[in-house]
Amino acid sequence: MDFRDQLFDQYADLPAQWARQDFEQCTFKYLDLSKVIFANTNFTNCRFEDCNLGLALLEGTKLDDVVFVASKLNSVNFGQCSAFGFHVDFQGCQLDYASFSNRNLKKTRFVDCTLLEARFINCDLSSAVFKTCNLELAQFASNTLIQTDFSSSYNVSLDPDNNKLKKTKFSLHSLPGLLTKYDIIVN
């Protein structure tokens, strides 16, 4: 079934199942969608506000120009999403333990988010922005970080030898996190 230009909130009639549905220009507000199976669902130009999507399953799900605002996406594996047309942005979200692997995240915006122990593996984060994000214990491996902006984020720790960096922005406070593997102390 196709849904277009609809608002889904706690007062709306929600789909009996979320898998294999098409949502275009829809808004989702104040919903608990934790552990929901969104297998092979298509979201195009959609917005999630104040939703809980913790542990949601996104296998084969298309996220094309989807914005998440003040939502919980803890332990979500975005690496299971369809790579075709993948583009997301996050504002004020909890992305703790989320996983991004083999994703094109060019120009993705992470604004005021927590990304505790999040994993970014083999991603293209060129020109992505991490604005005032907590990246405590987040893992970055085999990524392209060209012109990526970490300058206002904190608890940044990554190995420059295990990621491609060029004109990547960091604050002076992030310097210790770039030297972790050398086991040195920066005061």
Q: How confident is the model at residue 110 (pLDDT cuts 50, 70, 90)?
A: very high
pLDDT at 183: 73
What confidence category does residue 187 fall into, taking pLDDT thresholds of 50, 70 and 90? low
Q: What is the pLDDT averaged over residues 47-52?
A: 98
pTM assigned to the model: 0.94
For domain 2-182, the CATH architecture is 3 Solenoid (2.160)
Q: Three-class SS of residue 107?
A: coil
Instruction: Judge whether residue 172 has pLDDT over 90.
Output: no
Is 169 in contact with 145 (CB distance < 8 Å)?
no
Domain boundaries, the chain: 2-182
What does the alpha-carbon distance between residue 86 and residue 125 come to, in Å, rounded to a whole number?
13
**Confidence check: pLDDT of 122 > 80:** yes
Q: What is the DSSP secondary structure assignment for residue 122, as one 8-state letter?
A: S
- Distance, in Å, from the CA atom of 92 to the CA atom of 94, rounded to the nearest integer, reads 7
